[in-house]
Amino acid sequence: MARYTFTLLGAVLITMTGLVFGAEKADQIVEHNMLMNHGGGHLMDMDGGMVMGMNKDTLPPGCTRISEDASITVRAGHKYTKDFPGTMFGLDQHEWRVKPCTRLTVTFINEDHIRHQWMMHGLPKFIYDKGMFHLEMTGPAKITGTLILPAEDKTYLVHCDIAQHMEKGMKGQLIVGNGSTPFPSIPGLTDFAIPDDYGPKVADSIKVALPAGSAPGSALSSVNPTKSGGSNGTFLLGLILGAIGTPFAITYYRRRFEGMTQDEVIQHLLTSSKSIFDKILGLLMTLVSKVTKK
């Protein structure tokens, strides 16, 4: 009996030790502070740590001196997305304000097990290569860089440039002085550039007649003849409408697009397809209600 108890105790101890050390290892933030200076404010190390646009002493035009030394710490991690539905990659802050000519030290802590960046755009290109100041590392890790901000009032875009990271939440703005035009789609701050669109509402009577998932363009002729009472009439109606309507539509669109380039045609179709779809739905709704009323 005692043997079993000891074995059991041993197993529990080993498991717990594993859990504790495993958890500690996952949260360990590696500090990237042994970067090689490649010149021009560009520093890198072998583990994916990178700083671009490091500048501690070159004054941008319009600055006669450094107005103040400031520092911010920004954290990146999936857990910071929970307050912003639809986002996947998170920052713990999305806006920073500094005075013109501030020497700003940014400490960027990446808590995810993927690569993230804190990238600023729109700086003067003769001081900052590509107009950028940029911190990057594969996490969990920490990296620090310094830059001096120009004298003018301006709002700078800050984002992570890894594919889809900005679109899914890693976007912010750094406001110097009074700032300029704010950026759209900053989580919790500004309106989305492209709002979510769940499409036009389909009336209940149409939902019965249309097979699930039928494409908008095929709405007229794809009514399923085997489902629901009275749909044989609707199917016939669809066939007749399709037969009459198709040659008419072809003639109409041939005339409509005469002399237009391919791009113009696509542009026109994109903008007009939504209203055409609405019209077809309206027409179909009227017809279906007439057929089912008899």
Enumerate binding residues for Cu ion (CB under 5 A).
116, 160, 162, 165, 170
Name the residue nearer to Cu ion (CB basis): 116 or 171. Answer: 116
Tokens of 85: 């539905």
* Alpha-carbon distances, residue 11 vs 25, 30, 45 (angstroms): 21, 31, 41
Burial readout 165-193 (b: 16 or more C-beta within 10 A, e: otherwise): bbbbbbbbbbbbbeeeeebeebbeeeeee
Name the residue nearer to Cu ion (CB basis): 74 or 288. Answer: 74
The least distance separating Cu ion from the CB of residue 26, rounded to whole angstroms, comes to 18
93 contacts 183 by C-beta, under 8 angstroms: no
The least distance separating Cu ion from the CB of residue 173, rounded to whole angstroms, comes to 16
The least distance separating Cu ion from the CB of residue 76, rounded to whole angstroms, comes to 6
Name the residue nearer to Cu ion (CB basis): 102 or 144. Answer: 144
The least distance separating Cu ion from the CB of residue 44, rounded to whole angstroms, comes to 18
Tokens of 273: 């397809």
90 contacts 132 by C-beta, under 8 angstroms: no
The least distance separating Cu ion from the CB of residue 75, rounded to whole angstroms, comes to 12
Looking at residue 182, the DSSP 8-state letter turns out to be P
What contacts 166, CB < 8 A, 6 or more positions away?
159, 160
Name the residue whose CB lies closest to Cu ion. 160
Tokens of 293: 């009323």
Name the residue nearer to Cu ion (CB basis): 103 or 134. Answer: 134
The least distance separating Cu ion from the CB of residue 114, rounded to whole angstroms, comes to 7
Name the residue nearer to Cu ion (CB basis): 32 or 116. Answer: 116
Selection from 73, 74, 77, 95 nearest residue 87 by Cα: 77
Segments in the chain forming alpha helices (H) = 2-27, 204-209, 231-256, 262-293
Name the residue nearer to Cu ion (CB basis): 104 or 166. Answer: 166
The least distance separating Cu ion from the CB of residue 24, rounded to whole angstroms, comes to 24
Name the residue nearer to Cu ion (CB basis): 75 or 154. Answer: 75
Bridge partners (DSSP) of residue 142 are: 31, 109
Tokens of 218: 């095929």
